[in-house]
Amino acid sequence: MDYPLSGIRGIGPARQKAFEAAGIRTVRELVMFLPREYRDLSAPVPLSALRPGDTAAVRVRAAGELSERRARRLLISKLYVTDGTDTLPVVWYNQPWLKNQMAPGRELLLYGKAELKQGYVTLVSPVIESGEGLIPVYRSIQGIPAKALRQCVEAALRLCEGQWPDELPESLRRRYGLCERNFAMRNAHFPDSHEALAAARRRIAFEELLLYQVALSLLRNTAREGVRIAFPPDAPEAFWAALPFAPTAAQRRVLAEVAADLMSDRAMARMVQGDVGSGKTAVAFAAIALAHAGGWQSALMAPTEVLARQHYESAVKLLEPLGMKAGLLVGSLTPKQHRLAHEAVASGAWDVVIGTHALITEGVAYRNLGLVVTDEQHRFGVRQRTMLSEKGDAPNVLVMSATPIPRTLSLILYGDLDISIVDELPPGRTPVQTRIVPESKREAMYGFLRDEVRRGRQVYVVCPLVEESEAVDALPAEAVYEELRTKRLTDLEIELVHGRMKPADKDAALERFRRGEADVLVSTTVIEVGVNVPNATVMVIENAERFGLAQLHQLRGRVGRGAHESWCFLMAEPNPRLRFLASTADGFKIAQKDMELRGPGELFGTRQSGALSAGMNALASDAELLKLTHDEARDILARPDDPEAQAVVALARARFAERMEEVGVN
Please state the rounded mean pLDDT for residues 138-157.
91
The 10s digit of each residue's pLDDT in 435-481 is 999 988 999 999 999 999 999 999 999 998 755 444 445 568 888 99
Closest by Cα among 225, 296, 295, 236 to 260: 236
Please state the rounded mean pLDDT for residues 153-177.
92
Indicate if the pLDDT at residue 614 is higher than 60: no
**So what's the architecture of 235-263+278-401 in CATH?**
3-Layer(aba) Sandwich (3.40)
- Three-state secondary-structure class, residue 399: strand
Q: Against a cut of 0.75, is the pTM above it?
A: no
pLDDT band at 608 (very low <50, low <70, confident <90, very high): very low
Higher pLDDT, 119 or 366: 366
Closest by Cα among 463, 454, 422 to 588: 422
- In order, the DSSP letters of 263-317 are HSSBPPEEEEEE-TTS-HHHHHHHHHHHHHHTT-EEEEE-SSHHHHHHHHHHHHH
Rg (CA), the chain: 28
- The per-residue pLDDT for 304 is 75
Stretch among 199-203, 500-504, 542-546, 593-597 having the lowest mean pLDDT: 593-597
- Which H/E stretch holds residue 632? helix 623-637
Closest by Cα among 570, 469, 457, 573 to 521: 457
The 10s digit of each residue's pLDDT in 516-529 is 999 999 998 876 55
Is the domain covering 432-584 a CATH 3.40.1130.10 domain? no
Question: Domain segments of the chain: what residues?
Answer: 43-129, 235-263+278-401, 432-584
Mean pLDDT is highest, among 52-61, 360-369, 380-389, 394-403, for: 52-61
Give CA separation, 56 vs 39, 419, 598, in Å: 8, 40, 16
Are the C-beta atoms of 270 and 404 separated by less than 8 Å?
Answer: no
**So what's the architecture of 43-129 in CATH?**
Beta Barrel (2.40)
- The per-residue pLDDT for 114 is 92
Indicate if the pLDDT at residue 425 is higher than 60: yes
Indicate if the pLDDT at residue 604 is higher than 60: no
Higher pLDDT, 468 or 283: 283
Indicate if the pLDDT at residue 601 is higher than 50: no
- The per-residue pLDDT for 370 is 93
Topology alike, domains 43-129 and 235-263+278-401:
no
pLDDT band at 598 (very low <50, low <70, confident <90, very high): low
Indicate if the pLDDT at residue 419 is higher than 70: yes
CB atoms within 10 A of CB 239: 24
- The per-residue pLDDT for 409 is 64
- The per-residue pLDDT for 471 is 42
- The per-residue pLDDT for 322 is 93
- Helix-then-strand count for the chain, H and E: 24, 21
CB atoms within 10 A of CB 459: 27
Please state the rounded mean pLDDT for residues 483-512.
88
The 10s digit of each residue's pLDDT in 328-375 is 998 888 999 999 999 999 999 999 999 987 887 778 889 999 999 988
Indicate if the pLDDT at residue 129 is higher than 80: yes
Please state the rounded mean pLDDT for residues 398-426.
72
The 10s digit of each residue's pLDDT in 473-486 is 556 888 899 999 99
Higher pLDDT, 616 or 82: 82
